[in-house]
Protein backbone atom coordinates (compact mmCIF):
# COMPACT_ATOMS: atom_id res chain seq x y z
CA UNK A 1 0.00 0.00 0.00
CA UNK A 2 2.90 2.34 0.76
CA UNK A 3 4.33 1.76 -2.72
CA UNK A 4 0.90 2.43 -4.23
CA UNK A 5 0.59 5.73 -2.36
CA UNK A 6 4.09 6.73 -3.40
CA UNK A 7 3.25 5.89 -6.99
CA UNK A 8 0.14 8.05 -6.82
CA UNK A 9 2.04 10.90 -5.24
CA UNK A 10 4.94 10.82 -7.65
CA UNK A 11 3.31 9.86 -10.93
CA UNK A 12 0.06 11.77 -10.50
CA UNK A 13 0.08 15.12 -8.70
CA UNK A 14 -3.74 15.08 -8.72
CA UNK A 15 -3.75 11.96 -6.53
CA UNK A 16 -5.64 10.08 -9.25
CA UNK A 17 -3.01 7.98 -11.01
CA UNK A 18 -3.94 6.22 -14.21
CA UNK A 19 -4.38 2.77 -13.17
CA UNK A 20 -6.45 -3.87 -14.41
CA UNK A 21 -9.38 -4.76 -12.33
CA UNK A 22 -11.90 -7.44 -13.27
CA UNK A 23 -9.92 -8.63 -16.28
CA UNK A 24 -8.03 -11.83 -17.05
CA UNK A 25 -4.61 -13.00 -18.16
CA UNK A 26 -3.94 -12.20 -21.80
CA UNK A 27 -2.94 -14.91 -24.26
CA UNK A 28 0.88 -14.80 -24.22
CA UNK A 29 2.26 -12.41 -26.85
CA UNK A 30 -1.19 -11.69 -28.32
CA UNK A 31 -0.41 -7.99 -27.86
CA UNK A 32 3.09 -7.75 -29.39
CA UNK A 33 3.06 -3.96 -29.17
CA UNK A 34 2.95 -3.91 -25.35
CA UNK A 35 5.90 -2.40 -23.51
CA UNK A 36 6.75 -2.76 -19.81
CA UNK A 37 8.40 0.37 -18.39
CA UNK A 38 10.62 0.38 -15.31
CA UNK A 39 11.01 3.96 -14.16
CA UNK A 40 13.47 5.41 -11.67
CA UNK A 41 12.40 8.47 -9.66
CA UNK A 42 14.58 9.71 -6.79
CA UNK A 43 16.24 6.30 -6.51
CA UNK A 44 12.96 4.40 -6.34
CA UNK A 45 11.55 2.12 -9.04
CA UNK A 46 8.03 2.29 -10.46
CA UNK A 47 6.20 0.69 -13.37
CA UNK A 48 4.12 1.94 -16.28
CA UNK A 49 2.87 0.57 -19.56
CA UNK A 50 3.54 1.75 -23.08
CA UNK A 51 3.28 0.54 -26.62
CA UNK A 52 5.53 0.27 -29.65
CA UNK A 53 4.51 2.62 -32.48
CA UNK A 54 7.69 2.38 -34.56
CA UNK A 55 10.70 0.09 -34.30
CA UNK A 56 12.52 2.81 -32.37
CA UNK A 57 9.68 4.64 -30.54
CA UNK A 58 7.33 3.76 -27.69
CA UNK A 59 4.29 5.87 -26.80
CA UNK A 60 3.21 6.27 -23.17
CA UNK A 61 1.81 8.81 -20.69
CA UNK A 62 3.79 11.94 -19.85
CA UNK A 63 3.27 11.33 -16.12
CA UNK A 64 5.45 8.20 -16.51
CA UNK A 65 8.54 10.38 -16.92
CA UNK A 66 11.47 9.53 -14.66
CA UNK A 67 15.21 10.09 -14.35
CA UNK A 68 15.76 6.82 -16.25
CA UNK A 69 13.44 4.43 -18.06
CA UNK A 70 14.10 0.83 -19.12
CA UNK A 71 11.72 -0.79 -21.60
CA UNK A 72 10.96 -4.49 -21.96
CA UNK A 73 9.34 -5.58 -25.22
CA UNK A 74 8.08 -9.06 -26.08
CA UNK A 75 7.16 -9.85 -22.48
CA UNK A 76 4.27 -11.83 -21.01
CA UNK A 77 5.62 -12.73 -17.59
CA UNK A 78 7.87 -9.86 -16.54
CA UNK A 79 9.55 -11.83 -13.73
CA UNK A 80 10.76 -14.52 -16.15
CA UNK A 81 13.61 -14.16 -18.60
CA UNK A 82 11.52 -15.14 -21.60
CA UNK A 83 13.51 -15.70 -24.79
CA UNK A 84 11.12 -13.32 -26.59
CA UNK A 85 12.02 -10.37 -24.38
CA UNK A 86 14.07 -7.41 -25.54
CA UNK A 87 15.26 -4.98 -22.90
CA UNK A 88 16.12 -1.59 -24.36
CA UNK A 89 17.05 1.65 -22.64
CA UNK A 90 15.49 4.99 -23.49
CA UNK A 91 17.73 7.42 -25.36
CA UNK A 92 15.35 10.37 -25.18
CA UNK A 93 12.07 10.96 -23.33
CA UNK A 94 9.89 13.54 -25.06
CA UNK A 95 6.79 14.56 -23.09
CA UNK A 96 4.27 16.76 -24.89
CA UNK A 97 5.43 20.40 -24.56
CA UNK A 98 2.05 21.42 -23.10
CA UNK A 99 1.74 18.58 -20.60
CA UNK A 100 0.33 19.86 -17.32
CA UNK A 101 1.36 17.78 -14.31
CA UNK A 102 -1.36 19.34 -12.16
CA UNK A 103 -4.37 18.61 -14.41
CA UNK A 104 -2.77 15.78 -16.48
CA UNK A 105 -3.88 17.46 -19.70
CA UNK A 106 -1.82 16.51 -22.79
CA UNK A 107 -0.67 13.39 -20.92
CA UNK A 108 1.34 11.85 -23.74
CA UNK A 109 5.06 11.11 -24.21
CA UNK A 110 7.26 9.58 -26.87
CA UNK A 111 10.26 7.47 -25.85
CA UNK A 112 13.07 7.11 -28.37
CA UNK A 113 14.93 3.83 -27.90
CA UNK A 114 18.71 3.52 -27.89
CA UNK A 115 18.40 0.93 -30.67
CA UNK A 116 15.73 -0.38 -33.01
CA UNK A 117 13.65 -3.25 -31.67
CA UNK A 118 13.90 -6.52 -33.58
CA UNK A 119 10.52 -7.35 -35.09
CA UNK A 120 9.11 -10.82 -34.30
CA UNK A 121 5.86 -12.61 -33.48
CA UNK A 122 6.22 -11.19 -29.97
CA UNK A 123 7.35 -7.67 -30.90
CA UNK A 124 5.64 -5.44 -33.45
CA UNK A 125 4.09 -1.96 -33.47
CA UNK A 126 0.39 -1.15 -33.28
CA UNK A 127 -1.46 1.13 -35.69
CA UNK A 128 -2.36 4.65 -34.64
CA UNK A 129 -5.70 6.20 -35.62
CA UNK A 130 -6.35 8.33 -38.66
CA UNK A 131 -6.92 12.00 -37.89
CA UNK A 132 -10.66 11.91 -38.59
CA UNK A 133 -11.27 8.61 -36.81
CA UNK A 134 -13.85 8.94 -34.04
CA UNK A 135 -14.23 6.92 -30.85
CA UNK A 136 -17.92 6.90 -30.01
CA UNK A 137 -19.86 5.99 -26.84
CA UNK A 138 -20.85 2.33 -26.85
CA UNK A 139 -17.70 1.17 -28.66
CA UNK A 140 -16.02 -1.80 -27.01
CA UNK A 141 -12.29 -1.36 -26.54
CA UNK A 142 -9.66 -3.06 -24.39
CA UNK A 143 -6.73 -2.14 -22.21
CA UNK A 144 -3.85 -4.27 -20.92
CA UNK A 145 -1.03 -3.96 -18.44
CA UNK A 146 1.00 -5.30 -15.53
CA UNK A 147 -0.53 -2.97 -12.95
CA UNK A 148 -2.31 -3.68 -9.67
CA UNK A 149 -5.14 -6.21 -9.72
CA UNK A 150 -7.24 -4.08 -7.38
CA UNK A 151 -7.12 -1.68 -4.45
CA UNK A 152 -4.59 -2.96 -1.87
CA UNK A 153 -3.67 -5.82 -4.21
CA UNK A 154 -0.27 -6.64 -5.76
CA UNK A 155 0.79 -5.85 -9.30
CA UNK A 156 0.54 -8.54 -11.95
CA UNK A 157 3.52 -10.59 -13.14
CA UNK A 158 1.67 -11.75 -16.27
CA UNK A 159 0.00 -9.40 -18.72
CA UNK A 160 -3.66 -8.78 -17.87
CA UNK A 161 -6.38 -7.44 -20.17
CA UNK A 162 -9.94 -6.17 -19.82
CA UNK A 163 -12.69 -4.97 -22.16
CA UNK A 164 -14.06 -1.49 -21.56
CA UNK A 165 -16.97 0.39 -23.09
CA UNK A 166 -16.47 3.98 -24.26
CA UNK A 167 -18.75 6.33 -22.30
CA UNK A 168 -20.39 9.65 -23.09
CA UNK A 169 -18.25 12.73 -22.49
CA UNK A 170 -20.84 13.98 -19.99
CA UNK A 171 -20.01 11.16 -17.58
CA UNK A 172 -16.38 12.24 -17.28
CA UNK A 173 -17.20 15.94 -17.33
CA UNK A 174 -19.38 15.35 -14.24
CA UNK A 175 -16.76 13.10 -12.59
CA UNK A 176 -13.52 15.00 -13.26
CA UNK A 177 -13.24 18.78 -13.15
CA UNK A 178 -10.29 18.86 -15.56
CA UNK A 179 -11.72 16.53 -18.23
CA UNK A 180 -11.24 17.89 -21.79
CA UNK A 181 -13.39 16.09 -24.42
CA UNK A 182 -11.34 17.17 -27.45
CA UNK A 183 -8.11 15.61 -26.12
CA UNK A 184 -9.43 12.87 -23.81
CA UNK A 185 -11.63 9.74 -23.98
CA UNK A 186 -14.04 8.59 -21.27
CA UNK A 187 -14.14 4.77 -20.87
CA UNK A 188 -15.38 2.15 -18.40
CA UNK A 189 -18.95 1.25 -17.45
CA UNK A 190 -19.64 2.39 -13.88
CA UNK A 191 -21.96 -0.61 -13.31
CA UNK A 192 -19.15 -3.10 -13.96
CA UNK A 193 -16.06 -3.67 -11.84
CA UNK A 194 -13.72 -3.61 -14.81
CA UNK A 195 -10.93 -1.10 -15.03
CA UNK A 196 -7.28 -0.28 -15.53
CA UNK A 197 -5.43 0.54 -12.30
CA UNK A 198 -2.17 1.74 -10.77
CA UNK A 199 0.83 0.61 -12.83
CA UNK A 200 -1.18 0.40 -16.07
CA UNK A 201 -0.60 4.07 -16.84
CA UNK A 202 0.70 4.70 -20.35
CA UNK A 203 -0.78 1.53 -21.84
CA UNK A 204 -3.00 1.68 -24.91
CA UNK A 205 -6.78 1.77 -25.13
CA UNK A 206 -7.25 -0.43 -28.20
CA UNK A 207 -10.42 -0.21 -30.33
CA UNK A 208 -10.78 -2.44 -33.40
CA UNK A 209 -7.04 -3.13 -33.44
CA UNK A 210 -6.06 0.55 -33.31
CA UNK A 211 -4.49 2.39 -30.37
CA UNK A 212 -7.01 5.16 -29.72
CA UNK A 213 -6.14 6.18 -26.18
CA UNK A 214 -3.49 6.13 -23.46
CA UNK A 215 -4.25 5.21 -19.83
CA UNK A 216 -4.05 8.56 -18.01
CA UNK A 217 -5.95 8.84 -14.73
CA UNK A 218 -8.97 7.79 -12.67
CA UNK A 219 -10.22 7.50 -9.10
CA UNK A 220 -8.09 5.74 -6.51
CA UNK A 221 -11.00 3.54 -5.40
CA UNK A 222 -10.94 1.69 -8.73
CA UNK A 223 -14.36 2.88 -9.88
CA UNK A 224 -15.07 3.90 -13.47
CA UNK A 225 -15.18 5.62 -15.89
CA UNK A 226 -11.56 6.71 -16.28
CA UNK A 227 -9.76 9.16 -18.51
CA UNK A 228 -7.60 8.22 -21.52
CA UNK A 229 -5.53 10.59 -23.65
CA UNK A 230 -7.11 10.83 -27.12
CA UNK A 231 -4.29 9.89 -29.52
CA UNK A 232 -6.00 11.25 -32.66
CA UNK A 233 -5.70 14.77 -31.22
CA UNK A 234 -1.91 14.45 -31.09
CA UNK A 235 -1.11 12.77 -34.43
CA UNK A 236 0.67 15.78 -35.94
CA UNK A 237 2.88 16.14 -32.83
CA UNK A 238 3.67 12.40 -32.82
CA UNK A 239 4.58 12.33 -36.52
CA UNK A 240 6.56 15.57 -36.37
CA UNK A 241 8.51 14.45 -33.31
CA UNK A 242 9.42 11.04 -34.73
CA UNK A 243 10.58 12.68 -37.97
CA UNK A 244 12.71 15.13 -36.00
CA UNK A 245 14.65 12.32 -34.30
By annotation, the residues acting in catalysis are 63, 107, 201
Distance CA 11, CA 205 (A): 19
Assign 3-state DSSP to the chain and report helix, strand, coil percentages, each to 5. Answer: 15, 35, 50
Q: Which of 82, 83, 92, 89 is nearest to 115 (CA)?
A: 89
Q: Which of 145, 118, 135, 143 is nearest to 172 (CA)?
A: 135
Closest among 127, 148, 183 to 48, alpha carbons compared: 148
Residue 82, helix vs strand vs coil: coil
Amino acid sequence: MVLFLLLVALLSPTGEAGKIIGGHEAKPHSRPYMAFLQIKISGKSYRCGGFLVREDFVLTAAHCLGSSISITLGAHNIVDRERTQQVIQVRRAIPHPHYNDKTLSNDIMLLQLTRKAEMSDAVSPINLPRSLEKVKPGMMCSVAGWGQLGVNMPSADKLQEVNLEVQSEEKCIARFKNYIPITQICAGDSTKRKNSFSGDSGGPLVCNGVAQGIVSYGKDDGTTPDVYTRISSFLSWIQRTMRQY
